[in-house]
Structure 1
Amino acid sequence: MNKSIWLLSTIAIVYLFVACETPPSESTASLKTATTSLSAPTSSLVSPFTNSTNTLDKYWYQGKGELNVYSLEQNRYQDIHPGEALLVFVTEDFLTDRQVKNDRYESANSTPILKMNGITRFTTGLYDYSIMTSVFTPVKTRDFPRTLKVTHSAQDWCGQVFSQINLKGEEYQYQQFSYFESEGDDQKNASANLLEEELMNRIRMDYQRLPVGEDLKFIPGLTFLRLKHKPYQTYTATASLKDYEGADFTGEKLKAYVLEYPEFQRTLTIVFSSVAPFYIEGWLDSYPSVFDGKMRTTKALRSNTVLLDYWSKNANTTANAELREQLNWR
């Protein structure tokens, strides 16, 4: 074998293993399979969306899904990496007991939901990340004031991790399956506080009910917890809702929902239109990078939106290729 090719291959492999950093010492517990209760259920725990009267209008019931493409600058390791993000919003019927999509319509335990599928893809030097989050939030908030389920998966060249959150009474049950020995298979419960993952669904449904104030209890987004190797639990946050006054985003009558976590030195800003159907224009997520501790900001900017019955566009046709080009999704 040519020595120069062998040397380059060796360097690439060494870089790959170094870049896949092990979780910090706070997560170095042995393989866990038993359920750990992080906070006791509280019967007085009230969702801020309990008294929401908003229902989705006919925009959401056209037999189509809303596809939103975003240009992405992702904070990872010690750099900002180029990428792309896709948010898919669609309504469907959901079984409240089994917490899965209602396919057969044989059960009365069904309610309409707004589902968000979020996909993030970016490259860190040599190798790629692909992250997907699905959030299932009931539309009838008086009957079901809490999001019922969140699923999350992250893949890179080192391995993959799958996590799931299910509402069980007054608790959110969390399961994680990780390729890291120090994380392993894990199951925990936390009181059914606010989920960062549900914020975009809530904005699309009734943004005026978003919680604001200090000393709020939030379970952070699973993507953030994954990339920072932080434990799943409730954290204290401060939230505000205000007119957007920055220069990064453009749109009609923009609002900014700002969520701050003092423990992480993290500020998440979601920018959206206050005019129906309340498009998510993008987000800014600032926190210290994992390798060098310098403050960097993930930025996502909406570039295109298409309303489409995308699930029927699965043939290798010129028309479908043109739709993908129109969406500008690689």
Structure 2
Amino acid sequence: MRNSRNILLIFLLAFSIYACGPKGRDGVEEEQFAGYWYQGQAEINVFDLEQVRYGESRNGTAVLIFVTEDFSKRKQVKLDDPSEAGRDAKKVMKLNMTREFVTGVYPYNTMLSVFTPIYEELNSYKIVSSVTEWCGQAFTQMNWKNSAYKVQLFSYFESEGDQELKIDAKAEDELFNLIRLNPDLIAEGDARLIPGLTFQRFSHVELKDYRADISKNDLGENSSELIVDYPQLRRTLKIQYKKFFPYEILAWEEIQTKSNGDQEVTKATRRSLNMLDYWNKNEKLFEPLRNDLGIEK
């Protein structure tokens, strides 16, 4: 009888540890994931960018920085001291995507930040987009709260002004992070998606969810492609990635079909990948590292 009780106690203890401990989403292998992403470095990907703006293709540079962070689910900000946050501390995959290019005499700078939970089957907690150029600034922030995105949009255009919205849908921008977790997390078929915030700023389409068709295409060898088609917007997004962990992003393409049938194609092709704790390298002596990353000064 005593042995039976001991076995039961051991079982219950093991179950409680398993139930209370962090578990990845389905399809995310924790040991493999932690070995790559929890080594105290960020993955910095530099891309050659061909960005269509005002009907012309502009050469530029895009940078995708992927890194894991401790995040406050309640405050929806990076935690200063995760050990003091208790259950509010959540691990996220953070994407910072920048685009830099020139239109005529003046420069464009965009930045997108996406915070996607690693251990919760939820939409990305927070998505932020900014566009700055000599005409002015635009800024959009979406926070996932109470089963919908609370959206705040600020723009220098009179027709858009400042807006507050509520959208209950998944976001296109988190697809990059979901690919990095495991492409199998992205279901194929019909979906309702909020288009990419950078695209929304450039096109000035209404910020809401649209019907999208999601599919995947095997490109052979070591890569696959995620295809997101928006019939109403006449727009297609293609993201090429490696088939196997850590599912690196190799390229992406945005195809916009105009009313006359002509296509405008924005595309980015990866030039380099480096692992770096860049936040510890902010002194002037580290500036030569930009050459190693493939970024011009």
Q: For this structure pair, what is the TM-score category when the shorter chain's length is used for normalisation?
A: 0.7 to 0.9
DSSP 3-state at the match of 1:183: coil
Task: Provide the rounded CA distance (Å) in 2 between the counterparts of 1:235 and 1:164.
Answer: 18
Preserved contact between residue 273 and residue 281 of structure 1 (Cα < 8 Å): yes
Matches within 5 A, 1:260-299: 260-288=229-257, 294-299=262-267
Match of 2:284 among 316, 321, 326: 316
Match of 1:300 among 268, 284, 287: 268
Aligned to 2:26: 52
Preserved contact between residue 119 and residue 130 of structure 1 (Cα < 8 Å): yes
Task: Provide the rounded CA distance (Å) in 2 between the counterparts of 1:91 and 1:209.
Answer: 18
Aligned to 2:181: 205
DSSP 3-state at the match of 2:57: strand
Aligned to 1:225: 200
Task: Provide the rounded CA distance (Å) in 1 between the counterparts of 2:139 and 2:41.
Answer: 28
Task: Provide the rounded CA distance (Å) in 2 between the counterparts of 1:140 and 1:51.
Answer: 6
Query: Which string of whole-angstrom CA distances, capped at 9 and with x for unpartnered residues, describes residues 81-131 of structure 1?
Result: 111100000011000001000113332211111100000111112211100
Task: Provide the rounded CA distance (Å) in 2 between the counterparts of 1:268 and 1:149.
Answer: 21
Q: Tell me whether 1:175 sits opposite 2:152 in the alignment.
A: yes
DSSP 3-state at the match of 1:226: helix
Q: In structure 2, what residue type is equivalent to 1:157?
A: W
Preserved contact between residue 52 and residue 265 of structure 2 (Cα < 8 Å): yes
Q: In structure 1, what residue type is equivalent to 2:85?
A: S
Aligned to 1:74: 51
Match of 1:107 among 85, 97, 101: 85
Preserved contact between residue 27 and residue 184 of structure 2 (Cα < 8 Å): no
Aligned to 1:120: 99
State the shift of 1:51 in Å. Answer: 6.0
Preserved contact between residue 164 and residue 175 of structure 1 (Cα < 8 Å): yes
Task: Provide the rounded CA distance (Å) in 2 between the counterparts of 1:240 and 1:97.
Answer: 34
Match of 1:257 among 202, 226, 229: 226
Preserved contact between residue 226 and residue 239 of structure 2 (Cα < 8 Å): yes
- Gap regions ≥5 residues in structure 2: 1-23
Preserved contact between residue 135 and residue 150 of structure 1 (Cα < 8 Å): yes
Q: Percent identity?
A: 39
Preserved contact between residue 107 and residue 133 of structure 2 (Cα < 8 Å): yes
The higher-RCO structure (CA 8 Å, 6+ apart) is: 1
DSSP 3-state at the match of 2:287: helix
Q: Tell me whether 1:98 sits opposite 2:75 in the alignment.
A: yes
CA 1:58–1:51 in structure 2 vs 1: closer, same or farther (change >3 Å)?
closer
- What number of residue pairs does the alignment pair up? 268
Task: Provide the rounded CA distance (Å) in 2 between the counterparts of 1:103 and 1:303.
Answer: 33
Preserved contact between residue 217 and residue 234 of structure 1 (Cα < 8 Å): yes
Preserved contact between residue 65 and residue 310 of structure 1 (Cα < 8 Å): yes
DSSP 3-state at the match of 2:232: helix
DSSP 3-state at the match of 1:181: coil
- Gap regions ≥5 residues in structure 1: 1-49, 246-251
Task: Provide the rounded CA distance (Å) in 2 between the counterparts of 1:135 and 1:261.
Answer: 21
Task: Provide the rounded CA distance (Å) in 2 between the counterparts of 1:258 and 1:220.
Answer: 13
Task: Provide the rounded CA distance (Å) in 1 between the counterparts of 2:89 and 2:239.
Answer: 30
Query: Which string of whole-angstrom CA distances, capped at 9 and with x for unpartnered residues, describes residues 128-182 of structure 1?
Result: 11000000001103xx422100011000110001110000111111101111111
Match of 2:167 among 190, 214, 224: 190
Task: Provide the rounded CA distance (Å) in 1 between the counterparts of 2:77 and 2:164.
Answer: 20
Q: Tell me whether 1:325 sits opposite 2:291 in the alignment.
A: yes
CA RMSD of aligned residues (A): 1.7
